[in-house]
Amino acid sequence: MVRGSLLLKYYITQNHVRTVAMLSTAVRLSKEICEHRHLLWSMVARNLKGKYTSSYLGVAWHFITPVISIILFYIVFTGIMERSIDNYWLYLCVGMFPFTFFQENLTSGAGCVVSNSSAIKKMYFPREIVVLSQILSTFITFMIAYLAVIILSLFSGTSMGANTIIFLPLVLLLSLTFATGYVLLLSAVTVFVRDIQHLIQALARILFWVTPIFYMVTDLKGVLAELIWYNPLAHFIDLYHDMLYFGIAPSTTQLCICLLFAGVMFTTGAIVFNKLKWKFAEEL
C-alpha cells in the first residue's frame, strides 16, 4: 500500500511538472510571437498576394478559382442533384469554400516551412510564425468568401436562423484548430521527407471525392456510405451544411467528433513541430 501510494504521488507530481512546463512554453512562445507580430502580418500579406502578384486580378483569384469549380459542378450535376437538393447552388457554396480552406492548407501548408527556408536560415524568429501566416492568410480569404455566401443566401430568401449565429463561430474555431494542427505536423515532417508533398497532392484529389461537397451523405449507398465518415473533413463539411444550408443546430455527436479531431490533430502537430523545429536550419 505504501509503495502504491508513493508511485501514485510520483505519477501525479510528474504530470503536474509536465503541465506546468507546457504552459510555461506556451506563454513564452505567445510572447515571442507577439514581439514578432509585424513579421507575421507581413508574411500574411505576402501569402495573400502569393503567386498572383503579377496578374491583373491579383488576390481575386483566391475567390475566382473555387467559384469556377462551383459553376462547373452546378452545370454538370444540377440536373441530377436538384431533384433531391433544393437551392443546389447554395449547397455547393456552403461546402466548397470550407473544403478549399482545408485543401489549400493541406497542399500549400505542407511546404510552408520549406518555402520560407531563406528566412529561417538567415534570422531568428519563432518558427510557428510561418505556419500561422499560412493559416491566417487562407482563413481570411475563406471568411471573405463565406460572408459573400451568407449575403447571397439572405437575398435569395434563405433563412440562416439563430443556430448559425450561435454555432458558426465555434465550428470556425474548430476548423482553424484542426487545420493548424495538420499544417504544423506536415510542414515539420516535410522538411525531412520531401516526398510527402507529392503524396499530399494525390491525397487532396481523393479527399475531394470522398467529402460531401456536391452530394449528400444520405444519398450514398454501399461501402462509401460507411467509409466516408473516416474522413475528418466529411464531419466538418456536414456541420457547415447543417448550419448554413439546413438552418439547424449541429448534432452534439458531430460537434464532439470534430472537437476530438481538432484537439488530437493540434496536440500532435504542436508536439512534432516543437521537437523538429530546432533542426530546420540544418536540413533546409
Query: 265 exposed, middle or buried (CB, 10 Å; 0-12, 13-18, 19+)?
Result: buried
Per residue in 53-79, pLDDT (tens digit) is 666 666 666 667 777 777 776 776 666
Q: What is the DSSP letter of 215?
A: S
Per residue in 124-176, pLDDT (tens digit) is 888 889 999 999 989 988 888 888 877 777 776 666 667 677 888 999 999 99
Query: 137 exposed, middle or buried (CB, 10 Å; 0-12, 13-18, 19+)?
Result: buried
Per residue in 217-226, pLDDT (tens digit) is 877 777 777 7
In whole angstroms, how far apart are CA 117 and each of 120, 130, 188?
Answer: 5, 10, 12
CA distance 86 to 91: 8
Provide the whole-model pTM: 0.83
Q: Which three cell numbers stand for residue 282?
A: 540544418
Give backbone dihedrals phi and psi of 240, rounded to 5 degrees, phi first.
Answer: -65, -40
Q: With cut-offs at 50, 70 and 90, classify the pLDDT of residue 197.
A: confident
